[in-house]
Structure 1
């Protein structure tokens, strides 16, 4: 799951600086799509467009986002300079800003799904309110399945629908939190998967899906059992998922797999999502006429893309940290050192627990995952194990971390404290972590 985005900026109040930043983000996506089409465009051109947009939007970042992104970028630069001056590392300076550019391009591409629906953005997903355990289960499942495609926006769509029945209660908020965060276990449309596929290009996605999807369903079962035991759900309004709601997530997943295994087998899933989702979104608007489609794109560029400043800045700055740390470790050790001589189940479990612990104290899981990747040398099936560790630590860490994107967003939208969400999720996180450890051992044996 991505870090929180700020609220959309109405086009009537957007400044020229923000409009330019949105245009640069769109340019970065377009350049990446052209690269995937085979045109001779260097990756730094994509990276520079995104970084310039971040610089323009820097004053608009929330203080916490700005501090965290600034620390990551500063550490990355300092580590790079130390590698050069202290150990004589040779740095391709023009490629220094490329870290996580692929992921950012994918995130921007996924955002275009917002063009499917009403003119003003996401339409509320069809469904009706029910109460009791069935309603709470529907809330979790609706956010989980729809959020696997639409990410954080689904929480607001479902949450705002539930809010029609009154202020959201704690079990409703926990269902929203856990439904979305657990989708990181398997969804190819999540930022977590994009980061992992970039860091571990040899990972086997089908293996992750075979384990991650059932684990996600177990996370839902854990949530329902936990909430039923701790709260009286009889009068708690929930969300009833309709069959129509599933058409888009199922259809998009089928299209991605068709391209990956049939039409464009040479492209990674990250690359396919980058161009496929904007193409589908634009195609869905063309029946209204080219001018309508262009107006939708313009509105998206001016309003939605600048509002992505939080996640774009965090992922780019985390990529810079990874570049700097990798350069320093490589230069200091002659590329002969790794955190673990062998990455097996014990090492994977220790890494998972360390990243989750860092999330509890306030670090976004992308930081732990990036640092771990820079200190490992894994190949072949070990990349699949690393990918599983990264995805599971992301899913558990974002649910319990007080400063994770989902908890900060719930705090800003519905007034629930991130610390309260952390305390309420500790038991759930512990139980899910136990299942993750079992899955890690099983995956290691399987591989």
Structure 2
């Protein structure tokens, strides 16, 4: 009997895209190797990921290319000013390392798409229903599945709903809010990876205890608001099934098991980086080595280059953060910070500033990174900063016209980012009030 192979031949891939995918994969593998047994090889992670980004640069949408280019240009310029104007000593060999750990985690998480569907094609579970129940199913399905599968869940659920008819505004808003609110607590989100890198002493249990209830409030606000504004009687929704929850629960249990038992010395970001690809490999090996190699090959050549938007944004934001922090330290001899202390009022100001910048068109990662570069947080303040940053990310990505989720909905389903911003302003205002109240509660505990 012939060995099983993947069900479809790998599509024709341009050499430049293939090389970019292999470079991104090399960045992931070097990061995993550094965690396991060869720390020195991590020096290859940044250059490999930047090489993949450079090769894919012409394929970035114009707005993404402009924003990423601005971030990278400003970061490089600030490093030059710090060097020439203030005599700062810059480790140029490590300039490309900003946010590479988070990018490696994102690349690792992408392999989860190879788990649970051994036929090689997306097959979201559940059957569509209509009305308020359908709306709740769409929000909850995207929220729970998105905690692990991230942005790919929006396409899985959205494409399933689009089989019946073009997506309506309530459906698009449910997709948007379901995913963005998961940034409040999911350890698998890029937002959590960034925050854990910027505030390594944060207490995740405390963030979870405050972020998860706030995420449930986001769902409740959606369920109260949208039925009042739209007729949902014919609006198809996504119906959850117990099987839908199996993957998120198993993955979360594995991560927690490694974090608290097998590898307590590693951060959650590091564990996710190697555990997700390893899980995908083990799962697919049940169909045979040839099948597994075929799927991994196709994933590296097609899926990884498709991540060019988020990879370029995170890498360029990392360069900006490095430039800002280097210049600030050089100009003030390390003695200046934005706030002398970080308490309730400072956290509220930070949250509102990042959300406003997101409405103006900046991705929340920019506001979070800039803020972290001009703060000197004590260990006891890092949890408050982490929660504030995650809340700003969750609200900012929902309403920001150039956020990853809204750009993806625009590219996939043709909805205007400006329209999504307008339709989410009321939601963002309500969530801002709830976040400010939660910040006050957290700061006093």
- What secondary structure, in the 3-state scheme, does the structure 2 residue paired with 1:91 have? coil
Identify the residue that residue 380 of structure 1 maps to in structure 2. 379
Q: Does the 8 A contact of 2:139 with 2:177 survive in 1?
A: yes
Cα shift readout 1:223-265 (whole Å, capped 9, x = no counterpart)? 1101022112222111110010000001101110111011110
Cα shift readout 1:142-179 (whole Å, capped 9, x = no counterpart)? 00000111111111111111112211111111101100
Identify the residue that residue 5 of structure 2 maps to in structure 1. none
- What secondary structure, in the 3-state scheme, does the structure 2 residue paired with 1:124 have? coil
Pair 1:277 & 2:313 matched:
no
- What secondary structure, in the 3-state scheme, does the structure 2 residue paired with 1:240 have? coil
Aligned residue pair count: 437
Query: Using the alignment, how far apart are the partners of 2:118 and 2:436 within structure 1?
Result: 45
Identify the residue that residue 7 of structure 1 maps to in structure 2. none
Identify the residue that residue 20 of structure 2 maps to in structure 1. 21
Pair 1:370 & 2:369 matched:
yes
- What secondary structure, in the 3-state scheme, does the structure 2 residue paired with 1:391 have? helix
Identify the residue that residue 220 of structure 1 maps to in structure 2. 219
> What aligned pairs does 1:202-213 form with structure 2 within 5 A after superposition?
202-213=201-212
| Residue 384 of structure 1: how far off its partner (Å) | 0.7
Identify the residue that residue 432 of structure 2 maps to in structure 1. 433
Q: Does the 8 A contact of 1:114 with 1:122 survive in 2?
A: no
Q: Does the 8 A contact of 2:120 with 2:295 survive in 1?
A: no
Cα shift readout 1:280-335 (whole Å, capped 9, x = no counterpart)? 01100011111211111111111111111111111000000000000000000011
Identify the residue that residue 165 of structure 1 maps to in structure 2. 164
Identify the residue that residue 182 of structure 1 maps to in structure 2. 181
Identify the residue that residue 88 of structure 1 maps to in structure 2. 87
| Residue 222 of structure 1: how far off its partner (Å) | 0.5
| Residue 122 of structure 1: how far off its partner (Å) | 5.4
Cα shift readout 1:92-138 (whole Å, capped 9, x = no counterpart)? 11011110000010000000011114467552221011111111011
- What secondary structure, in the 3-state scheme, does the structure 2 residue paired with 1:288 have? coil
Query: Using the alignment, how far apart are the partners of 1:213 and 1:74 within structure 2?
Result: 37
Query: Using the alignment, how far apart are the partners of 2:46 and 2:152 within structure 1?
Result: 25
| Residue 375 of structure 1: how far off its partner (Å) | 0.6
| Residue 43 of structure 1: how far off its partner (Å) | 3.1
Identify the residue that residue 143 of structure 1 maps to in structure 2. 142
Identify the residue that residue 328 of structure 2 maps to in structure 1. 329
Query: Using the alignment, how far apart are the partners of 2:406 and 2:57 within structure 1?
Result: 22
| Residue 193 of structure 1: how far off its partner (Å) | 0.6
Unaligned 5+ runs, structure 2: 1-8
Q: Does the 8 A contact of 1:322 with 1:374 survive in 2?
A: yes
Cα shift readout 1:335-357 (whole Å, capped 9, x = no counterpart)? 11000000001000000000000
| Residue 11 of structure 1: how far off its partner (Å) | 4.5
TM-score norm. by structure 2 comes to 0.96
Pair 1:46 & 2:45 matched:
yes
Pair 1:403 & 2:407 matched:
no
Pair 1:355 & 2:318 matched:
no
